[in-house]
Amino acid sequence: MMEEIHAPRGIKLNTKGWGQEAALRLLMNNLDPMVAKDPKNLIIYGGKGKAARNWEAFDKIIQSLKSLENDETLLIQSGKPVGIFKTTENSPRVLIVNAQIVPRWATDDIFWDLEARGLTMYGQMTAGSWIYIGTQGILQGTYETLSALAKKEFGKYSLRGKWVLSSGLGEMGGAQPLAIKMNEGVALVVEVDKDKINRRLRDKYLDEWTDSLDRALELKDKAVKSGTSISIGLLGNAATIYDELVLRKIVPDVVTDQTAAHDLNLGYIPEGYDLKGAYEYRDSNPSDYKKKVYESIVKEVKAIIWFKESGSKVFDYGNNLRTRAREGGYSRAFEIPGYVPAYLRDLFTIGSGPFRWLALSGEPNDIFAIDDKIIENFTEDEHLVNWIKLAKKMVHFQGLPARICYAKYGQRERLGLLMNEMVRKGEVSAPIAIGRDHHDTGSVASPFRETENMKDGSDAIADWPILNALLNAISGASWVSVHHGGGTGIGNSIHSGLVIVADGTKSAEERIKRVLNADPASGVIRHADAGYQSSIDVIKKGVKFRTPYF
């Protein structure tokens, strides 16, 4: 077991260049106790999403990054450093591949057996690619989803006077209460783990909590009636609470779930158990435990279908809840729409998705300076500016100060060049690491989430994330990653990520121009190829790439 890990701050290098330094700091930042779910076991978020395979591998990654030259590339095979090669200064400093399994063998049972034998590692999305920024990372996507829902379902840009029922306050679900509040709605989020509730209270993602459904409903009713935004955590089991609301015939305005249902062994606690009792039963009788998990998931999903039929706007938030319910014998689970085809597809088609940056200095003022520069320079995008203002006011940093926003094709390059110029001029105190979630416009194939119900039926075509990773690598990203299974579990997704460092140099400027054009452009092409007119329109308006078909 290691001591607490915190990323280095300031401008003193621990490595031979800012690309290596950014990789070292972001890997360590992933394991900061303020960021990671279970840092002692290298687990960052999303069930068992890890930053490194084991502590020996972590130590060797750090050693390798410290010795890595500015024209060398480190290879990471499922959380383990396996080789350093002479490449070029414009090549990635690190290439990461996590959890790739030949499709015939890509099942939970086989994967977790291989993982237990120390042969692979579940990297989730941004855990094993060293670009997790705490709950803020999903906060903005949740904010965008709910904003799009409000516009589509209620005809306004706000959830004022509406209440949202959800469950799960873990590393992903913990963003929900604040995102709902930022959209001026009322959040009632069920969570079985009091420690997770406490963490959200500590980080100001949650306003208050109760273990009484009656008290929670009383607080909710008061806030809805007055048009006040508030977030309420309810200690309890989601299946139990949802079913009780059905029995009482209480119909929320919006219903979803963000438990880690993709992980049956860790991410969803069955009815009748607290955490300690659940895990003891799981370890003593794993097959019966899994059966009870399925029963509880089915019970919850049946309740969500009742809410839908009673007038609630419901959606699956990409955690594989519907699949698990169907596996548990409930054939109607997929009557619940996925959130991407329902609300986010229109953003993906124009190359928009979760774009993020971190201050390698560790100075919050560096992020605030970038906030101010965006507000000043992106006045034409009122929605983006409004988000930045809200984030600056309401978001609590975890680990290295960071920010995220949904930025479309063209905007990402502008943002990257703006940050590089700020570094060059000394308007921020150290270089900025720029990255994104793997949950993006052209970097993922995930038929139960990002690529669900593609217009041309290409949901499961996984060429696109591989092309995206290869293109980002040759364009000069600082590091590139390809993962399997993030978000929806083993066998259900392939996705890629990147980081590029803005260090104020001319070289960084040129690489930013290439990478932050190529990365979202691959998303535009992917959706244009699938027949989305808005993607075709982006291409016809003028882009910095060519495509033979448009």
Q: Both tokens of residue 531?
A: 């027949």
Alpha carbons 182 and 394: distance in angstroms, whole number: 8
> Is there a contact between 464 and 445 (Cβ–Cβ < 8 Å)?
yes
Q: Is beta strand 94-98 parallel, antiparallel or unpaired with respect to 402-407?
A: unpaired
Evaluate whether 476 touches 90 at the Cβ level (below 8 Å): yes
Q: How far is CA 494 from CA 44, 141, 175, 181, in A?
A: 19, 19, 24, 32
Residue 110 has φ and ψ, to the nearest 5°, of -70, -45
Residue 405: active-site member: yes
User: How far is 520 from 152, CA to CA, in rounded Å?
Assistant: 25
Could you say which of 95, 139, 314, 405 is catalytic?
Answer: 405
Q: What are phi and psi of 363, to 5 degrees?
A: -95, 115
Cβ proximity of 49 and 488 under 8 Å: no
Is residue 479 a contact partner of residue 96, using CB atoms and an 8 Å limit?
yes
Q: What three-state secondary structure class fits 338?
A: strand
Taking CA atoms, 326 is separated from 299, 320, 452, in Å, by 11, 10, 16
Closest CA to 267 of 243, 293, 287, 302: 293
Question: Cα dist. 390→146, 269, 314 in Å?
Answer: 15, 34, 26
Residue 327, amino acid: E
| Strands of 285-346, DSSP E | 313-314
- Distance (Å, whole) CA 390 – CA 303: 34
Residues contacting 14, CB < 8 A, separation 6+: 8, 21, 24, 66
Given phi > 0 = left and psi -120 to 50 = alpha, else beta, which region is 356? Answer: beta
Question: Packing angle between helix 411-425 and helix 506-529, nearest 10 degrees?
Answer: 170
Residue 186 near residue 158, CB atoms below 8 Å? no
Tokens (6 digits) for 429: 């105190």
Give the Cα separation of 245 and 100 in Å (integer). Answer: 41
Sign of CA dihedral 29, 34, 35, 39: positive
Burial 300-321 (b: 16+ CB within 10 A, else e): bbbbbbbbbeeebbbbbbbbbb
Alpha helix locations (H) across 119-247?
A: 136-154, 176-182, 194-202, 213-226, 238-247
- Nearest CA to 122 out of 496, 500, 483, 468 is that of 483
Tokens 């054009």 sit on residue: 517
Q: Which are the catalytic amino acids?
A: 405
